[in-house]
């Protein structure tokens, strides 16, 4: 019997509480939560207490804890890169970093360098990439990456709290700051955040369908109130539409569609936070439709299972160049979309 892998969490917010702790609980003895770090000592203590783990308020304390073999980084995006690098340099067995892996190309390059130097496997918690419903379609899609010409990702979501509250009992939440729309930097910034925080779920999937993205060109980008975006862009000879809206609706609707002349793939994902099994993929031709999923296992479980297999030497680690390329693609798109929003005259300016 393999030993249980000790896990330490950097950041004890809703992602840790609602996604990872319930997932690890389902995986039983494969993992043991050993340490929880949060800047809020009370939150760190309370979340650690749920798992019988140690707690602290400093990254160093967690990295110095010998019981922590794998570091799960669930802190705000801005801290991901430095914490991934620190975890690698601490000689941990693996790092699971919530998406995005980095917030700049320089950070991505630094991560690539330290991973090459230390050999520490890095996972990115892009759960859709691990989703059995998606992967089953990928295994059967044949020439779709080459023949597809149009891609659409549409995400309609209720507030996250609605799903967090049915996945766990959340201790604390950061209030969503009220944006100051009179600041011209706000809408470009929120669009950038939308790409790096929401579109990021599907961008690795989209990139897997693109032969290249160095020719990426944003045709149009709009911030959609209260929070969302519509972004049209072309890359690798394909037309891509990204659409997202978060509102007070109760009904989530998360779809990724890929069109070729003779094939259409439609993937329906469950919202984040919930543990509702896999996506359902439909791969259609004019003759028939193949349906993949739903499986009971979701992408969160698969990413942790594969991480365990890597730690135990049963599986090759993820290709870091792919992960770095994924984040470069996301950053290129986020920057270009923010620029497009920035250059769009406001209604007042246009009048």
Q: Is the CB of residue 131 less than 8 Å from the CB of residue 218?
A: no
For the CB of residue 142, give the shortest distance to another protein in the complex, in Å. 12
Specify the residue, 202 or 306, whose C-beta has the smaller distance to another protein.
Answer: 202
For the CB of residue 179, give the shortest distance to another protein in the complex, in Å. 16
Strand-pair category, 227-235 with 217-223: antiparallel
Distance CA 152, CA 49 (A): 42
**Residues near another protein (CB under 8 A):** 149-150, 152, 156, 219-220, 224-225, 230, 232, 234, 239, 241, 243, 245, 247-251, 253, 259-264, 284-286
Distance CA 144, CA 239 (A): 14
For the CB of residue 197, give the shortest distance to another protein in the complex, in Å. 19
For the CB of residue 239, give the shortest distance to another protein in the complex, in Å. 4
Please report how many Cα atoms fall inside a 13 Å half-sphere around the Cα of residue 58, on the Cβ side: 4
Specify the residue, 109 or 156, whose C-beta has the smaller distance to another protein.
Answer: 156
For the CB of residue 285, give the shortest distance to another protein in the complex, in Å. 5
Distance CA 196, CA 181 (A): 20
- Give 287: exposed, middle or buried? Use CB within 10 Å, 0-12, 13-18, 19+: exposed
Specify the residue, 99 or 230, whose C-beta has the smaller distance to another protein.
Answer: 230
Q: Which residues contact 160 (CB under 8 A, 6 or more apart)?
A: 14, 272, 273
Q: What is the DSSP letter of 290?
A: E
Specify the residue, 234 or 315, whose C-beta has the smaller distance to another protein.
Answer: 234
For the CB of residue 298, give the shortest distance to another protein in the complex, in Å. 24
Specify the residue, 123 or 259, whose C-beta has the smaller distance to another protein.
Answer: 259
Specify the residue, 156 or 309, whose C-beta has the smaller distance to another protein.
Answer: 156
Tokens of 124: 């990115």
Tokens of 143: 């020439």
């Amino acid at each position: 019997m393999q030993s249980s892998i000790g896990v330490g969490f950097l950041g004890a917010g809703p992602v840790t509480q609602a996604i990872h702790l319930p997932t690890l609980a389902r995986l039983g003895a494969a993992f043991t939560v050993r340490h929880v770090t949060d800047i809020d000592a009370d939150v760190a203590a309370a979340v650690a207490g749920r798992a019988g783990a140690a707690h602290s308020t400093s990254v160093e304390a967690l990295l110095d804890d010998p019981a922590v073999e794998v570091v799960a980084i669930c802190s705000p995006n801005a801290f991901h890169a430095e914490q991934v690098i620190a975890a690698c340099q601490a000689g941990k067995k693996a790092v699971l970093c919530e998406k995005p892996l980095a917030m700049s190309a320089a950070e991505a390059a630094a991560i690539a360098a330290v991973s090459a130097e230390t050999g520490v496997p890095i996972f990115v918690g892009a759960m859709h990439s691990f989703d059995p419903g998606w992967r089953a379609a990928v295994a059967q899609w044949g020439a779709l990456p080459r023949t597809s010409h149009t891609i659409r990702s549409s995400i309609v979501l209720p507030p996250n709290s609605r799903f967090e509250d049915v996945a766990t009992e959340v201790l604390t939440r950061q209030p969503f700051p009220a944006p100051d729309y009179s600041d011209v930097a706000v809408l470009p910034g929120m669009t950038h955040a939308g790409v790096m925080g929401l579109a990021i779920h599907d961008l690795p999937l989209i990139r897997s369908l693109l032969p290249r993205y160095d020719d990426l060109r944003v045709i149009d980008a709009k911030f959609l109130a209260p929070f969302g975006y519509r972004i049209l862009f072309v890359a690798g000879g394909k037309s891509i539409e990204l659409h997202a809206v978060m509102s007070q609706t109760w009904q989530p609707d998360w779809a990724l569609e890929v069109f070729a002349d003779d094939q259409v793939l439609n993937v329906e994902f469950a919202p984040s936070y919930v543990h509702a099994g896999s996506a359902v993929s439909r791969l259609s031709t004019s003759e028939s439709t193949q349906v993949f999923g739903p499986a009971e296992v979701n992408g969160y479980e698969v990413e942790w299972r594969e991480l365990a297999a890597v730690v135990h030497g049963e599986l090759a680690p993820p290709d870091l160049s792919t992960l770095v390329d994924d984040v470069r693609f996301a950053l290129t798109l986020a920057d270009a979309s923010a620029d497009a929003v920035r250059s769009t005259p406001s209604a007042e300016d246009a009048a």
